[in-house]
């Protein structure tokens, strides 16, 4: 009985540590007002990698809807029996195991995919690598998202061209990025003022 109680308390503690998704995911100002530390993390990412805040956040919104421990859909054997997940993607950035390993090795950063700070840094790092390898501007949300989803090799092979649904999603991410950028211009001074006050 004591063990059950301890496990229950531990579970409640751990689930209490997970940050809930922002209440208004369509508004970057609301997101950063609700989670001012996310604004700090995003600024650090932009300073480190040059990837604009609105681009990285639009990709994250599409990938996980800001759910810290997001998982891809289940795979099924014979359409009925649950058989693992369709990929190893996990967390805010939906980074898969191999590329997350590359990120950790390449940057020396540890971290966790269910930590916003680490996840936004990963997206910035990936976009920078895409710019270096494929020449895609870090401001080009549409093509950055396609390369993010398909992997740089897949993008180079034009795998997305056989996936009209994915190109539609990439347009959606681009539009969200543009909305975020316009909103950010309206509240940037307020966010920076609050940041100065906080520190």
Confidence category of residue 17, pLDDT binned at 50, 70, 90? low
5: left (phi over 0), alpha (psi -120 to 50) or beta: alpha
Q: Which CATH number fits domain 24-198: 1.10.530, 1.10.12, 1.10.3470, 3.40.50?
A: 1.10.530
For residue 86, what pLDDT is reported? 42
Tell the burial category of 167 from Cβ atoms under 10 Å away from its Cβ (0-12, 13-18, 19+).
middle
CB atoms under 10 Å from CB of 128, counted, come to 16
Do 141 and 131 touch, CB atoms closer than 8 A? no
pLDDT average, residue stretch 77-92: 55
pLDDT value, residue 88: 65
Look at 62-66, 150-154, 191-195 and tell me which has the smallest mean pLDDT.
Answer: 191-195
26-59 pLDDT per residue, tens: 999 999 999 999 999 999 999 999 999 999 999 9
What average pLDDT does the chain have? Answer: 85
pLDDT band at 106 (very low <50, low <70, confident <90, very high): confident
Rounded mean pLDDT of 57-73? 85
Name the residue ranges covered by the structural domains of the chain: 24-198
Give the per-residue pLDDT at 18: 64
> What is the percent of the chain where pLDDT is above 90?
64
Other C-beta atoms closer than 10 Å to the C-beta of 77 total 9
Q: Name the pTM for this structure.
A: 0.84
Average pLDDT in the 135-156 region? 97
pLDDT at 5: 46
């Amino acid at each position: 009985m004591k063990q059950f109680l301890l496990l229950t308390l531990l579970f409640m503690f751990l689930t209490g540590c997970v940050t809930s998704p922002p209440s208004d995911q369509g508004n970057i100002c609301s997101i950063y007002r609700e989670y001012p530390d996310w604004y700090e993390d995003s600024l650090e990412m932009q300073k480190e990698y040059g990837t604009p805040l609105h681009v990285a956040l639009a990709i994250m919104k599409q990938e996980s809807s800001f759910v810290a421990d997001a998982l891809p859909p289940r795979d099924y054997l014979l359409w009925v029996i649950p058989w693992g997940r369709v990929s190893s993607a996990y967390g805010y950035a939906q980074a898969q195991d191999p590329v997350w390993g590359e990120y950790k090795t390449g940057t020396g950063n540890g971290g966790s995919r269910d930590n916003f700070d680490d996840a936004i840094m990963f997206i910035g790092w990936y976009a920078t690598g895409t710019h270096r390898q494929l020449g895609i501007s870090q401001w080009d949300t549409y093509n950055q998202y396609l390369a993010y989803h398909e992997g740089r090799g897949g993008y180079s092979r034009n795998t997305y061209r056989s996936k009209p649904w994915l190109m539609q999603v990439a347009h959606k991410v681009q539009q969200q990025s543009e909305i975020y950028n316009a909103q950010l211009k309206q509240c940037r001074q307020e966010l920076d003022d609050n940041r100065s006050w906080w520190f």
